[in-house]
Amino acid sequence: MIKLTKVSRISRFFLTLLLLSLTACASSKFVSSYRDPNMDFAALHTIAVMPFANLTREQQAADRVRDTFINSLLSTGAIYIIPTGEVARGISRSNIAHPEEPSLEEFAKIAGILNADAFITGVVREYGAVRSGSNTANIISLSMQMFDVESKKIVWTGSSTKGGISMKDRLLGSGGYPMNDVTEMAINDILNQLF
């Protein structure tokens, strides 16, 4: 019978701890988007991006993310996006109380004013710096959905979380990515789910 020395027991303990932490960090595969299989997305020509809901402490987070999303969507050249000023005017004319989460009737009202084929709504759940011990990094978590005017139903949803403190950040003490980069990564992830 081999006797374990104190050093080998400590090494074995840390090896076990390392293996447990790696398996705990392994991400399980889950679906972060939905696409209606019966929807012809090529038939959509005009989309209105509604103001996003903001569940963060950062007051301007929803507006910043919405602007970045609209610019990224426009840069694809795949679809016409109604300008934000026109969307704001349509919201005002249709008297929508909560444009972040309109009802079916409100969608129908504003669709007539804007001549939109579909609407995209969104929620910014996290935005800004997170801290763990002495490490700080930026994080964003958001979700979006598309409402089709003709079928009167949600035909696409997508969500993404990017940034945060990685194992590399913990080991090397780096501060992660700038907020703009993290936002663009999350939006690119959502656009990949849409197209």
| Ordered structural domains, the chain, with CATH | 33-194 (3.40.50.10610)
User: Given a cut of 80, is residue 178 above it in pLDDT?
Assistant: yes
Q: What's the whole-model pTM score? A: 0.79
In contact, 96 and 109? CB cutoff 8 Å: yes
Name, in order, each residue with C-beta under 8 angstroms of 177's C-beta and a sequence gap of 6 or more.
137, 138, 163, 185
The pLDDT value recorded for residue 164 is: 83
